[in-house]
Amino acid sequence: MKFSLSWLREHLDFTASADDVCKRLNEIGLEVESLDNPAQRLGGFRTAKIVEATRHPDADRLQVCRVQAGAGFEDVQVVCGAPNARTGLHVIFAPPGTYIPGLDITIKKGKIRGQDSGGMLCSLRELGIGEESDGIAELADTAPIGQAYAAYAELDDPVIEIAITPNRGDALGIRGIARDLAATGLGTLRAWNEAPVEAGADAPLQWKIDHAACTQVAGRVIRGVKNGPSPEWLKKRLEAVGVKPISALVDVTNYLAYDIGRPLHVFDLAKLTGDTLSVTHAAGETFTGLDENDYVLGTEDMVIADGAAVQSLAGLIGGKASGVDENTVDVFVESALFDPVRIALTGRRLSIHTDARQRFERGVDQALVRPGLEAATRLIIELCGGTPGAVVEAGAEPNWKREATLRFARLATLGGVNLTADDAVVSLEGLGFELLHRDADCATFQVPSWRNDVAMPCDTLAFREDLDEARKAVLIDAVRSIEPECDLVEEVLRLYGLDNVQPQALPQLSMVQAPTVSPQQARQALLRRICAARGLMETVGFSFVAYEDAVLFGEAPEALRLLNPIATDLDQLRSTPLINLGRALGRNLARGLAVSGDGALFELGPVFDAAGQQTVLAGIRGGVSARAPGQAAQEPSVWDVKADAVAALAALGMPDASLAVTADAPSYYHPGRSGQVRQGPKLVLARFGELHPVVVKALGLSGSIVAFEVLVDQVPMPKAKRKSPPALSPLQPVRRDFAFLAGPDVEAQAVLRAARNAERKLIQDVRLFDVFEGASLPAGHRSLGVEVILQPQTESLTDTQIDAVSKAVAAAVEKATGAILRR
Q: Is 770 exposed, middle or buried (0-12, 13-18, 19+ CB in 10 A)?
A: exposed
CATH of the domain at 69: 2.40.50.140
Q: Is 480 left (phi over 0), alpha (psi -120 to 50) or beta?
A: alpha
Closest CA to 337 of 397, 280, 387: 397
- Rg (Cα) of the chain, in Å, rounded? 41
Higher pLDDT pick, 519 / 311: 311
pLDDT the model gives residue 642 = 93
CATH of the domain at 164: 3.30.56.10
Closest CA to 674 of 695, 693, 689: 689
Annotated binding site for Mg(2+): 453, 487, 490-491
Quickly list DSSP for 99-158: EETTTTEE---EEETTEEE-SEE--HHHHTS----SSS--B-TTPPSS-BHHHHTT----
Question: Does residue 707 share a domain with residue 599?
Answer: yes
Rounded Cα gap, residues 146 and 14, in angstroms: 31
Q: Does residue 247 lie in a domain region?
A: yes
Q: Does residue 101 lie in a domain region?
A: yes
pLDDT the model gives residue 480 = 59
What is the per-residue pLDDT across 228-274, written as a single tens digit (0 to 9) for each?
Answer: 999 989 998 998 898 999 999 999 999 999 999 999 999 999 999 99
Q: Which of 55-59, 104-108, 332-336, 499-503 has the highest mean pLDDT?
A: 332-336
Asked if 237 contacts 302 with a C-beta cutoff of 8 angstroms, the reply is no
pTM greater than the 0.75 cutoff: no
Question: Does residue 88 share a domain with residue 100?
Answer: yes
> What's the average model confidence in pLDDT over 468-474?
70
Rounded Cα gap, residues 789 and 736, in angstroms: 7
Q: Does residue 331 lie in a domain region?
A: yes
Question: Does residue 738 share a domain with residue 692?
Answer: no
pLDDT the model gives residue 195 = 86
Q: Does residue 729 lie in a domain region?
A: no
Q: Does residue 288 lie in a domain region?
A: yes
pLDDT the model gives residue 132 = 62
Q: Does residue 81 lie in a domain region?
A: yes
| Greatest distance between any 2 Cα atoms in the chain | 126
pLDDT at residue 597 tops 80: no
HSE-up of residue 175 (Cα within 13 Å, Cβ side): 18
SS3 32: strand
CATH of the domain at 790: 3.30.70.380
pLDDT the model gives residue 555 = 85
Question: Does residue 146 share a domain with residue 130?
Answer: yes
pLDDT the model gives residue 504 = 79
What is the per-residue pLDDT across 737-781, written as a single tens digit (0 to 9) for each?
Answer: 999 999 888 888 889 989 998 988 899 889 989 988 888 888 888
pLDDT the model gives residue 456 = 67
Contacts of 746 (CB under 8 A, 6+ apart): 817, 818, 819
> What's the average model confidence in pLDDT over 295-315?
94
Stated as kind and residue range, the H or E segment containing 195 is none
Q: Please, which pLDDT band fits residue 209 given cuts at 50, 70 and 90?
A: very high
Q: Is 500 exposed, middle or buried (0-12, 13-18, 19+ CB in 10 A)?
A: exposed
Q: Which amino acid is at 672?
A: G
Question: Does residue 432 share a domain with residue 324?
Answer: no
Chain centroid, CA 39 distance in Å? 37
Closest CA to 305 of 283, 327, 325: 283
Asked if 234 contacts 384 with a C-beta cutoff of 8 angstroms, the reply is no
What is the per-residue pLDDT across 7-32, written as a single tens digit (0 to 9) for each?
Answer: 999 999 999 999 999 999 999 999 99
CATH of the domain at 636: 3.30.930.10
> What's the average model confidence in pLDDT over 606-617?
91
Q: Give the residue numbers spanning the domain of 682.
A: 519-714
pLDDT at residue 721 tops 80: no
Question: Does residue 62 share a domain with residue 46?
Answer: yes
Question: What's the 3-state SS for 502-536?
Answer: CCCCCCCCCCCCCCCCCHHHHHHHHHHHHHHHCCC
Asked if 281 contacts 379 with a C-beta cutoff of 8 angstroms, the reply is no
Question: Does residue 26 share a domain with residue 44?
Answer: no
Question: Does residue 432 share a domain with residue 369?
Answer: no
Question: Does residue 611 share a domain with residue 567?
Answer: yes
CA dihedral sign, ordered 27, 29, 30, 34: positive
Number of domains making up the chain: 6
List the beta bridge partners of residue 35.
160
Stated as kind and residue range, the H or E segment containing 287 is strand 286-288
Higher pLDDT pick, 404 / 38: 404
Chain centroid, CA 361 distance in Å? 17
Q: Does residue 511 lie in a domain region?
A: no
CA dihedral sign, ordered 774, 777, 778, 783: negative
Question: Does residue 693 share a domain with residue 739?
Answer: no
What is the per-residue pLDDT across 530-555, written as a single tens digit (0 to 9) for each?
Answer: 999 999 999 999 999 999 999 999 88
User: Alpha helices of 613-668 — where are they, by DSSP H?
Assistant: 638-651
Report the first-to-last Cα separation within the chain, whole angstroms: 92
SS3 300: coil
pLDDT the model gives residue 238 = 93
Rounded Cα gap, residues 797 and 791, in angstroms: 9
When the pLDDT of each residue in the chain is averaged and rounded to a whole number, the result is 90
pLDDT at residue 367 tops 90: yes
**Span of 186-200, 248-262, 656-670, 697-711 with lowest mean pLDDT:** 656-670
Contacts of 727 (CB under 8 A, 6+ apart): 793
Q: Does residue 168 lie in a domain region?
A: yes
pLDDT at residue 596 tops 50: no
Annotated binding site: 453, 487, 490-491
Rounded Cα gap, residues 679 and 685, in angstroms: 7
Closest CA to 685 of 640, 639, 647, 636: 647
Question: Does residue 390 share a domain with residue 302?
Answer: yes
Question: Does residue 566 share a domain with residue 432?
Answer: no
pLDDT at residue 635 tops 80: yes
> What's the average model confidence in pLDDT over 400-416?
90
pLDDT at residue 704 tops 80: yes
pLDDT at residue 619 tops 60: yes
Instruction: State what percent of residues in the chain have pLDDT above 70.
Output: 95
Which residue, 444, 466, 500, sits at the end of a domain? 500
pLDDT the model gives residue 776 = 83
Q: Please, which pLDDT band fits residue 563 given cuts at 50, 70 and 90?
A: confident
Question: What's the 3-state SS for 77-113?
Answer: EEEECCCCCCCCCEEEEECCCCEECCCCEECCCEEEC
> What's the average model confidence in pLDDT over 723-731?
79
> What's the average model confidence in pLDDT over 797-802?
91
